[in-house]
Amino acid sequence: MTYRDRARGCLLGLAAGDALGAPAENLTPAEIRRRWGRLTEIEGGGTDDTEYAIFAASLLVAHGHDLTPADVAAAYRERIIPLVTGPMRGAGFSELGTIEALRRGLEPPLTGMVHQHGWSDGLAMRAAPYGVFCPGDPAEAARLVEQDGLVSQSGEGILGGRAVAGAVAAAMGGAAPRDVVDAALAVVPADSWTARAITRARAALERSGAGDGAGDGAGDGPLVEALHEAVVVRHYPWTDVAPEAVALALAAYLAGDGDVEASVTFGVSLGRDADTIGAIAGAVAGATSGESGVPARWAARIGPVTGKCLPVVAGKHVLDTADELADARGR
């Protein structure tokens, strides 16, 4: 499988997972089962997850391995903020807070700290391009995504991005699913909330016997409940908690044994921040399986993004973005 094929599979899988999970965002698993039984078909478009991933890729195309937080802040000020004339529709807490911090003249890392939503999964949802750019090098992927994250996140929000970038980089290098998750753990502190959540989720899967293509819809209920019990912060009113979303997404990837459809459909069945869970699971599985691993019926539903959250990326397609990353990496 070629590098370009994995890159296209990664970003197409991200967009498909985002779009499939969008209608299930913030729903409980029980409500998802009541409405769809098993959510398997894309009904509409994606969310800010796909648009921010395309924006992140553009930073790598422009700066490569030399990317700094100052570069990212400048891109926000030059390319995002001038086009925000009203509310940013669909943007997460961390991104909204970052926009306001930058408008006030603050610089990173303060821009990712003062809004107090640095733990959100805003970086994790857009981390995949950094792994694409660093195939087989999880440490460098994690270092690069942190340059982005210092503008909008802090603490566990940055660690969630590092874990996803590391996982994608390992998958881009051809690692097996279990090794991909080990790579995610290797780029975050072992005593972090993120690492503990991933470890607990993996243990819940092992106790259930999943991880060999499970997550096909049969008997999901007990496994879903076990994963929620392992990592979900039930008492918190918001669902965009980075350690939780990353752990559930990687658990879905393991449950599907790296298969895109199995990983994504199981991931979005977990509810909570379902579009981000689907996007992360789809990105990692897409990097494992390549473009042909993304179901053709899903791929046919993925068009250019509309820019409803980020006008600067309107009209961009994730496959073109993947090709641009591949070309930039070769320079």
Q: What is the CATH number of the domain that holds 227?
A: 1.10.4080.10
CB 269 within 8 A of CB 258: no
Least confident of 70-74, 95-99, 230-234, 239-243: 95-99
Look up the domain containing 175 and give its range: 3-329
Cα separation, 320 vs 158, in Å, equals 27
Task: Return the minimum-mean-pLDDT range out of 36-40, 68-72, 249-253, 327-331.
Answer: 327-331
Q: Can you give the pLDDT at residue 12?
A: 98
pLDDT surpasses 90 at 96: no
pLDDT of residue 237: 75
Q: Which helix H or strand E contains 285, and what residues bound it?
A: helix 274-289
Cβ atoms within 10 Å of 228's Cβ, excluding its own:
19
- Is the pLDDT at 216 greater than 50? The verdict is no
Place 94 in a pLDDT band, splitting at 50, 70 and 90.
confident
Cβ atoms of 130 and 56 closer than 8 Å: yes
Distance (Å, whole) CA 104 – CA 181:
39
Read off the pLDDT band of 215 (50, 70, 90).
very low
| pLDDT tens profile 44-79 | 888 899 999 999 999 999 999 999 999 999 999 999
User: Looking at residues 25-51, what average pLDDT do you find?
Assistant: 93
> 107 pLDDT exceeds 60?
yes
| Spatial CB neighbours of 114, under 8 Å, sequence gap ≥ 6 | 97, 101, 106
Say which residues have a Cβ less than 8 Å from residue 180's Cβ, sequence separation at least 6.
167, 170, 171, 253, 258, 284, 288
Half-sphere exposure of 280 (CA within 13 A, CB side): 38
Q: Which residue has the higher pLDDT, 112 or 214?
A: 112
State how far the alpha carbon of 2 is from the alpha carbons of 263, 276, 277, in Å.
22, 26, 26
Number of domains forming the structure of the chain:
1
